[in-house]
Chain A
Amino acid sequence: MRDRHNDILDLSRRDLMAYAGAAALTAGTALGSATPASAQAKTRFVFANESDYDTVDPHAAFDVGRVAIRLNIYDGLMRWQKNPAVLEPWVAESHTISPDGLVYTFKMRKGVKFHDGTEVKAQDVVYSLERILAVGKGAASLFKSMVAPGAAKAIDDYTVEFKLAKPSAIFLSIVPEIHIVNSALVKKNEKGGDHAEAWLSKNSAGSGAYKITQFDPAIGFVAERWPSHFKGWGPKWIDEIEFRAVKDTNTRVLGLIRGDFNGIGGYLQTDQLNRIKANPATQVLEAESMRVMMAQINTTRAPFNDVHVRRGINYAFDYDGFNKEILGGLVERNPTPLPNTIWGVPKDVKGYSFDIEKAKAEFAQAKVKLDKPIELAYLTGFQQSEQAAQLLQNGLTKAGVQSKVVGYPWPTIVERFKDPATTPDVSIYWISTYYADPHNWVGEMFSSSTAGTFKNASHYKNPKVDELLEKALRSTVQAERAKLYEEVTRIVVDEAAGLWIYNTKWYGPYSSKLKGIVFCPIGSAQEMRTAYYES
């Protein structure tokens, strides 16, 4: 049962340090540049995340909560970089798209190495996409709407070709999610055709800038620098990174101030951000970004399949009270599922306002009586989401509707979303940027093809919306697409298919001496390749 890889994970901390030290020294000599950094004490970065790292499988999740694994341990053909986000070639050198928009051909770099030293080849890319489609998690539902199994082909070792079933405006945008796994290593660990799901959830097989040395689902993961990463390294770097789940906000904030953590998750309230800013040892980085806080309403069952009930819920939330008072004006009201700042937003749509009388009137029109308390789900560890749930509960009580507030850890609620029967009535969280396109929000949130993913917990089904979104995906003319997304947005706002609260900038709480954090809206700055400590 125990293979070599597991043995590495089982090594004690001291063994590990020695192992990592030796690796760093070897690398320094191998590269012929014994930089001062390798001679100095090993640098470490500890990040306290709000939610758990229940798996390290890069194809199992497509969220911010576990993005550190995908960005640091794995590489894709392309990667979103910088802010505003630009799609840059990564393991690919270049790509071409056939005139009919159906065939994407990627030329890959030579000499990109997996952590075990074998070379990243086209066959690995093919296997990775096949695995995504077979495992059916993470970005799979998105890929399934564009490519079928067998769509990827290795032309030669360094050329890979994807044949789409129909043209897609966003295929390129999600190519970064084809995280390349070492197909030889993964295949060796398959058990009964499970695509090594069990194995890869605890072990890694990537080529990324860091390689996993320790992983415990109850804590998080530790990864050491992979000196031979194809992108090369700057003059300074961080030798070891650790991402662990710390669910208590106060522990995270105090831990950062005390220096136990060097970075923490940015879903904080004004009070905490101010405290971190005021401390000389810590800093808060800010950047323009797009992250929409919203509530998903499970539209599949009564009474929420009734538009009046959904509108009533929308009128019962105190938007200003939340955005201006509780969050101290840190955020901006966002009345639609699309962030205000992206194209495709119908500017004249005002959305819903806090109005108890209107809420009562809507609830009175409901066909089904609201006799059972509405379940308002929030994410444990995220206090904003808890307080928004409480505020919504407050509004609902005033409108004469009973509700209960229930907390779920992020990985748990994502599992529940898969089935409309287990999806909570109303779930309050965020949709961040996974690719800079309106489809990331209104498209995935309300297309029936993505129902059950964490972006679509509404399980909303509307043939008209599906048709418009389908059109928007096929077109490649932005002006034309913008009109389609505007129309979809109008429909879902009128239908109150969800509840939309705010759009926010990105806030990154770090220790002051940490430099080189490059923010990109995709990944929330959790790519640690460029980070270093200022001495």
Chain B
Amino acid sequence: MNAARDILRQLLRDPAAAVGLLIILLLVFIAIFAPLLATHPEAIWDMNPRQRLLPPSDTYVFGTDRMGADIYSRILFGARITMVIASVAVGVALLIGVPIGLISGWTQNWLGEALMRVSDIFLAVPQIVLAIAISQTLGPSIENVILALSVTYWPWFTRLVHAEVRSLKNETFIEAAIALGVPTWRIILLHVLPNVASPIIVRTSIGMGFTILTASALGFLGLGAPPPAPEWGRMIAESREFLPEAWWYALAPGLAIFLVVMGFNLLGDGLRDVLDPRIRRAGARR
């Protein structure tokens, strides 16, 4: 517990990381309390063509879209979709990627090699291309976006954990544990895993931002949640045909994606500075 408080204190001392944390806390807050914060909670499904493409005003803070729905309210509800997609996709990727990395890093035999070659196959194709292929085949829906993103993101965790475990295995304390006859599962769970936790946490934070960006790209291409779901990527795609006249249409979801992705990246960088003394960002305070 003390360690966690210590990390948090160090994190808050870095202004960039603090901003990142703030943005993410705000996002979580918005996602949870969207129905209370929205001025037009019905905007996620209700359309009013008579109010279409109105510029920002008191009633419609961020204006209205092509179907006459309040963009502000849609952005708030879109935060839920974004959070669900990013956290579930990264969570699943963690659940697949970390155990595989641990196994392949520890057992340096044919099984480990085979698992690593499989992850290489996934890494050989750019994530977005593979994700497009998967969600195009399965059809547009939130579940399929999550599936496509987790299936394509786990190799990043595998690679990371694999490399860490391989170098850890030669450490004296691990060799001592083996010599003392500690069961392998105990060594991996109690001695190896805690020591690779820091890079995993950093990777998770950065991965969240990355995943949100990819999910938005899929939404932009029409492969995300089907209408009328207020998905940010889809909103930007819809807005293009009304640019530059209806500038507010693209601005709000664009800004939302930008802020959230930046938030996760700043937090990820900050966490790396705190957790991983080997690589420190230039100019970062100790």
Please report A residues at the B interface, Cβ cutoff 8 Å: 249-250, 253, 269, 271-272, 318, 321-322, 325-326, 380, 383, 386-387, 389-391, 393-394, 397-398, 404-407
Contact = CB atoms under 8 A, between A and B. Distances in A.
Contact of A272 (B48, B68, B241): B241
B222 interface: yes
Interface residues of B, number: 20
B67 A387 contact: yes
Contact of A326 (B46, B49, B241): B49
Nearest to A325: B49
A378 to B, nearest CB: 9
B47 interface: yes
Nearest to A394: B47
Interface of B: 45-50, 52, 66-68, 139-140, 222, 226-228, 240-242, 245
A269 B49 CA distance: 14
Please give me the 4 A-B residue pairs with the lowest Cβ-Cβ distance, nearest first. A321-B49, A325-B49, A394-B47, A250-B240
Contacts of A250: 240-241
Decide if the interface of chain B is mainly helix, strand, loop or mixed.
loop
B49 A271 contact: no
A387 B222 contact: no
A405 B45 CA distance: 12
A326 B228 contact: no
Contacts of A394: 45-47, 67, 228
Contacts of A269: 241
Given A250-B240, A405-B228, 14 more contacts: A253-B241, A322-B49, A325-B49, A325-B52, A326-B49, A386-B227, A387-B66, A390-B228, A391-B49, A393-B227, A394-B67, A397-B45, A404-B226, A405-B226
Contact of A271 (B47, B139, B228, B242): B242
A472 B66 CA distance: 43
A249 B241 contact: yes
A387 B49 CA distance: 10
B222 A380 contact: yes
Given A325-B52, A404-B226, A406-B226, A390 B241 contact: no
A387 B52 CA distance: 12
A318 B50 CA distance: 11
A404 B225 CA distance: 11
Contact of A391 (B67, B222, B240, B242): B67
Given A390-B228, A393-B228, A405-B227, A383 B241 contact: yes
B52 to A, nearest CB: 6
A271 B52 contact: no
A326 B52 contact: yes
A390 B67 contact: yes
Contacts of B46: 394, 397-398
A393 B228 CA distance: 9
Contacts of A249: 241
Contacts of A405: 226-228
B50 A321 contact: yes
A407 B49 contact: no
Contacts of A253: 241
Nearest to B239: A250
B226 A271 contact: no
26 contacts: A249-B241, A271-B245, A272-B241, A321-B48, A321-B50, A322-B49, A325-B49, A326-B52, A326-B66, A386-B227, A387-B66, A387-B67, A390-B47, A390-B228, A391-B49, A391-B67, A393-B45, A394-B45, A394-B46, A394-B67, A394-B228, A397-B45, A404-B226, A405-B227, A407-B140, A407-B222
B167 to A, nearest CB: 47
A393 B226 CA distance: 12
A160 B41 CA distance: 68
Nearest to B47: A394
A501 to B, nearest CB: 13
A484 B47 CA distance: 40
Nearest to A326: B49
A407 B2 CA distance: 53
B221 to A, nearest CB: 10
A502 to B, nearest CB: 14
Contacts of B222: 380, 407
B26 to A, nearest CB: 30
Contacts of A387: 66-67
A57 to B, nearest CB: 26
Contacts of B68: 325
A112 to B, nearest CB: 44
Contacts of B66: 326, 387
B70 to A, nearest CB: 14
A405 B240 CA distance: 20
Contacts of B241: 249-250, 253, 269, 271-272, 383
Nearest to A391: B47
A383 B227 CA distance: 13
